Chain A
């Protein structure tokens, strides 16, 4: 799906901030976030734990009031009228929100009624949602007997029971096996097809890459990059050559003098040397000749198209895979 740049904004924030006051003094968790999420897209919010990701999401979902800044969510001023924002949005917390003693159907019905539906409307809508999420067979079982994937689908069902314009998902696939994760991605795509905007946080880069139309990366409370996954990857210089090699300093000096190497750096964390080059397939033979001529033989060599993790590494100086563990 291509994003219409003229589509209306469903989330628009300006300089949104949150400071927590604790015994150890004030902690600035979110330091001025500007977001522009367009209606109808799947927007991914990426960042390591403690970066301000969940705090931002909780502010947008009306759970905590912002300290300062402006925000419009689903056409309503978030700071002035959070109660009206709640009527327009769905929210699915990371840990879910079903009672283990309630049946899946019972939870969907009460959730619908909490949004003002009559009992009959809520029953009819629950039947629809259960069918859409393939939970009809489990509808009358208590949620305590559900598998992790089923409970997650029910959580999403509760988030969409009132057909919100905008659905917030906090780390929707954390803890799911790959099969359940792929199923959930399908559900999220179906929501978008139905016209719902989805704002999700994740620390799985492949999830952001495959599922999201646009992503923003937050680190230390500020947005460090924003765009489509393709744009972000293109913005960091071309391809990446990773060398497993002993003498880092010598190699770095050597390759930095080469015109086709845009940037080279020493990965402290994994002991690998990374070269950012424009055209990896052309650069690789030249690089091998260069190393050979200098009498250096790398143990491993790999060429990769940039991933969102490389974007993250470039923007924040560390790998999300390691910080998110």
Chain B
């Protein structure tokens, strides 16, 4: 029993299966792409004429939000894939092998993270002609932060999938959780424009700190307190989510 080897086996297998059906990777990119092309230009003119819009250019404010959207929605729905694997009996079959329970989870979550990092990179490249300016070192840290969001959301989605065992129950729950997380993170418009009560509410949402951190990173402001806080917060949440999900994988009669 070697956790690293087991994790690699599960990663390899799940990546292989994902790439057999790459249409979902493209579908996952479609929505943020449409926001970028069809909504971004509107934001540009608002940014120039709105007092209170943070400095740094409209796309440097907007693209970090879209990246969070990719990470949030991409990872929140991974539980659906697990439910179909439960239905085909693959999960149960693997539970009666020496395979590490943590690897069952972590191998899949790593696949999810790689997919969403690739999607994020594609979106960033598309956004550059629109006027996105990025700091390369900042980009690396920003992608790590996105990975941490993926490592938080994907295990939670797997946990819910293991408990609910049905797409019909999972879909409304995931949507109900992710929509307020999205709206309260200042993804579409910066929360500096929000009234006080909304800002207070948003501070409770961990993703709003991640958005702040990525915006600072894109502008090369490594010393910004939001960066350290965002990374630390998401690290803690990822560890908690992985611990909970790996326990559920070990116990659940899938």
Let me know if A63 and B92 touch, CB within 8 A: yes
Let me know if B9 and A97 touch, CB within 8 A: no
Q: Which of A58, A90, A115, A158 contacts B253 (CB 8 A)?
A: A58
Q: Which of A91, A98, A106 contacts B96 (CB 8 A)?
A: A91
Let me know if A99 and B90 touch, CB within 8 A: yes
Chain A neighbourhood of B99, CB < 8 A: 114
25 contacts between A and B (CB under 8 A): A58-B253, A63-B96, A63-B253, A64-B253, A83-B98, A91-B93, A93-B92, A95-B88, A96-B88, A97-B88, A97-B89, A97-B93, A97-B94, A98-B90, A99-B17, A99-B88, A100-B88, A101-B21, A102-B13, A102-B17, A111-B97, A113-B9, A114-B6, A115-B98, A158-B93
Counting chain A residues whose Cβ lies within 8 A of the other chain, the interface size class is 20 to 34
Let me know if A114 and B98 touch, CB within 8 A: yes
User: Which residues does A use to contact B, with CB under 8 Å?
Assistant: 58, 61-64, 83, 86-87, 89-91, 93, 95-102, 106, 110-111, 113-116, 158
Let me know if A101 and B20 touch, CB within 8 A: yes
Given contacts A98-B89, A102-B17, contact A114 B94 (CB under 8 A): yes
Let me know if B89 and A63 touch, CB within 8 A: no
User: Which residues does B use to contact A, with CB under 8 Å?
Assistant: 1, 6, 9, 13, 16-17, 20-21, 85, 88-90, 92-99, 253
Q: Which of A93, A106, A113 contacts B93 (CB 8 A)?
A: A93
Chain A residue nearest to B253 in the complex (CB): A64
Let me know if A86 and B96 touch, CB within 8 A: yes
Chain A proximity of B100: nearest CB distance (Å) = 9
Chain A neighbourhood of B17, CB < 8 A: 99, 101-102
Compute how far the CA of A63 lies from the CA of B99 in the bound complex, rounded to whole angstroms. Answer: 13
Chain A residue nearest to B94 in the complex (CB): A114
Chain B residue nearest to A58 in the complex (CB): B253
Chain B residue nearest to A91 in the complex (CB): B96
Chain A residue nearest to B6 in the complex (CB): A114
